[in-house]
Structure 1
Amino acid sequence: MAKTREAGEFLSGALAGAMTKAILAPLETIRTRMVVGVGSKTIHGSFVQIIEKQGWQGLWAGNAINMLRIVPTQAIELATFEHVKRVMTTAQEKWNQSESPKLQVGQLSLSFSLSWLSPVAVGGAAAGIVSTLVCHPLEVLKDRLTVSHEIYPNLSIAVHKMYKDGGVGAFYSGIKPTLMGMLPYSTCYYFMYETLKKSYCVTKKKESLTRVEMLLIGAFSGLTASTISYPLEVARKRLMVGALLGKCPPNISAALAEVVREEGMMGLYRGWGASCLKVMPSSGITWMFYEAWKDVLLAERRKSKTQISTQG
């Protein structure tokens, strides 16, 4: 059992992420190829092409690095979200109990308050930013292994070649659009999940969700957040692997303009269907596993606190 709440949440996130990615790796492979414009433009066509060229193993291309990526990413993301949400909630409660600080400028008096900030939204934004900054190099490596298996047949070769060609900066290719895309996605994703979960429990007059309810609410939250931020995801992928295709846009605006020029406005949502097929089950399954692991890992801690409270 986890000794601290933070440790339990961190480990729960890692286990949930690993289990989810192992199940959904084929959809991730197809989605990545479609987003960056490699091979067929349809889900079925991409599936057939991968099987013909690489066999069934091709559907799990880059999955080793994907697992190495998702374990720390999901652990850091979920643990950061939970921690920042608690800190913000506590800060708001303390702030509301005391008189809000004021700034006097002449006859104008400005009162500062944290009540307008949503702890869930702030936690979601922080979760996306922190996990991205820490784990972005692994995301770049995963995409290189997925999209260009011939050039980067394994992890060690990919690391050596990328460092030789572009130094440390190569591992942070596309970091700016990644952060720009992650901020609205992560904020919306966590806000939607927590809000829907709370509203549903209040409406149904229950204290917690069933596993199926977590799955469905998590899936819907992922779909909504992904749809809002998807054009930035397309631009991000273009920047990250553009060098492999012989054309790398200089910035996110250029990448978006290039997509619109070549494929029209609908190009900004190319691969959206495949993304939804990946994001929805991924989001739902992740929350289901995460909440389940938290129940297991934090059960002993909750039991101990209850006994101490009873004794007191």
Structure 2
Amino acid sequence: MSSSSSTNTETLTSSSSSSSSSSSSSSSSFASRPLSQLKHMDIIDLLPNSTFDFRFQLPRQAQDFLERREVREFMSGALAGAMTKAILAPLETIRTRMVVGVGSRHITGSFVQVVEQQGWQGLWAGNMINMIRIVPTQAIEFGTFECTKRAMASLQEKWEQNECPKLQIGCLNLTLSLSWISPVAVAGAAAGVASTLACHPLEVLKDRLTVSPEAYPNLGIAIRNIYKDGGIGAFYAGLSPTLVGMLPYSTCYYFMYDTIKKSYCLTKNKKSLNRPEMLIVGALAGFTASTISFPLEVARKRLMVGALQGKCPPNMAAALSEVIRQEGLKGLYRGWGASCLKVMPSSGITWMFYEAWKDILLVQKGLI
């Protein structure tokens, strides 16, 4: 009897030890395995020596979704935009005030005026909505750009492989080719339009919070007052001029970045840019695009916030005419210096962060 009891005790001890070892091994194995290799159900110890455990269910569909190239490009854009805006929010505040004609006409004067009236926190007025706006905007913009660029390049390749169709007009035989179309330019235009259509209401909120913090002290009040004054349509005020202004800017912006990048790499016999070079190339692309499209930006801002001053022009042409009549041609570039001061570092930093996040989320994962 004693021998049997001893044997049973040893068996239980051995079983317990084996179970503990197995549980420890399972937990250790779980901790050491990458997420993509986890089983659908795994046992995890709450504490190293705990007898309790729970089962962790990993949604495979969600993991597969996050591994897609397009999703990671969207994520890279969102992270790059958020990091850039957090750094450059004060310049955005000053730029917006100067463009719409609020306060001083000089960068330094506007800076001092904001600090005196609202304190240092005034430089970040509207930054919360700006951060909420920039994450989806940059995600959609960069994601759309990358997807459209690949689609256009693939379409051109298939078009050439299947022989370009010919159009006969009398004695003329015309070959229809897509080779003259720049995939980058088309992708840039598509990116600008897509992000604008999706995120324009957030742009309206951001401008109202920045220009008139007294009337719109926080996001909730801004949403309520704008809706009360004009309904849902008020959140899309200035959409048409925004799209008109965005097309040349976005097209030029992405085209210039790609062109300068390729030309520099070809000249220096390099395959890719380092981080400082990305910063410079991105800044040059932003400067060029902003200079070309700035008059349209002035008209767009006037239309979007004109209601605050009780003199909202009916359309973009009227807004441009009003600016020229009141301030002359130089009025079309009022705030251009502040805009470049903001756009150049913003563009450079955004591209630098975007390429860095692409390296982390795509290149290191073998998705590119």
TM-score class, shorter-chain normalisation, is over 0.9
Instruction: Tell me, in whole angstroms, the C-alpha distance in 2 between the residues paired with 1:104 and 1:36.
Output: 53
Conserved 8 A contact 1:239-1:251: yes
Secondary structure, aligned partner of 2:256: helix
Q: How far is 1:301 from its partner?
A: 2.9
TM-score (norm 2): 0.81
Identity rate, percent = 75
What are the superposed Cα offsets for residues 213-257 of structure 1, whole Å, 9 maximum, x if unpaired? 000000000000000000000000000000001100000000000
Which residue, 298, 301, 318 being the options, matches 1:234?
Answer: 298
Matches within 5 A, 1:139-218: 139-218=203-282
Rounded Cα–Cα distance in structure 1 between residues aligned with 2:277 and 2:123: 29
> CA offset at residue 108 of structure 1?
4.7
Indicate conservation of the 8 Å contact 1:81/1:126, yes or no. Answer: yes
Q: Which has the higher contact order (CA 8 A, sep 6+)?
A: 1
| Structure (1 or 2) with the greater helix fraction | 1
The within-5 A match list for 1:224-263 is: 224-263=288-327
Q: Tell me how many residue pairs correspond in the alignment.
A: 304
Say whether residues 1:268 and 2:332 are aligned partners: yes
Q: In structure 1, list runs of 5 or more residues that go unmatched.
A: 306-312
Shift of 1:102: 2.9
User: Per-residue CA shift, 1:178-225, capped at 9, x if unaligned?
Assistant: 111110000000000001111111111111100000000000000000
Matches within 5 A, 1:19-34: 19-34=83-98
Which of 155, 168, 173 matches 1:91? 155
Structure whose alpha-carbon radius of gyration is higher: 2
TM superposition shift of 1:112? 1.9
* Structure 2 unaligned residues grouped into runs of 5+: 1-35, 37-65
Which of 333, 349, 352 does residue 288 from structure 1 map onto?
352
User: 2-side partners of 1:119 and 1:242: how far apart?
Assistant: 37
Over the residues paired in the alignment, what is the CA RMSD in angstroms? Answer: 1.3
Counterparts in 2 of 1:6-45, with a 5 A limit? 6-45=70-109
Q: Distance in 2 between matches of 1:233 and 1:12?
A: 27
| Corresponding residue number in structure 1 for 2:285 | 221
Question: Contact conserved, 1:127 with 1:186, CA < 8 A, in 2?
Answer: yes
In the superposition, the TM-score normalised over structure 1's length comes to 0.95
Task: Report the Cα distance in structure 1 between the residues aligned to 2:224 and 2:282, rounded to whole angstroms.
Answer: 38
- Distance in 2 (CA, whole Å) between partners of 1:106 and 1:279 is 51
Q: Give the AA of the match of 1:150.
A: E
2:26 corresponds to which residue? none
What is the CA-CA distance between 1:12 and the residue it aligns to? 0.3
Q: Distance in 1 between matches of 2:263 and 2:364?
A: 28
Aligned amino acid, residue 165 of structure 1:
D
**1:84·1:126 contact (CA, 8 Å) conserved in 2?**
yes
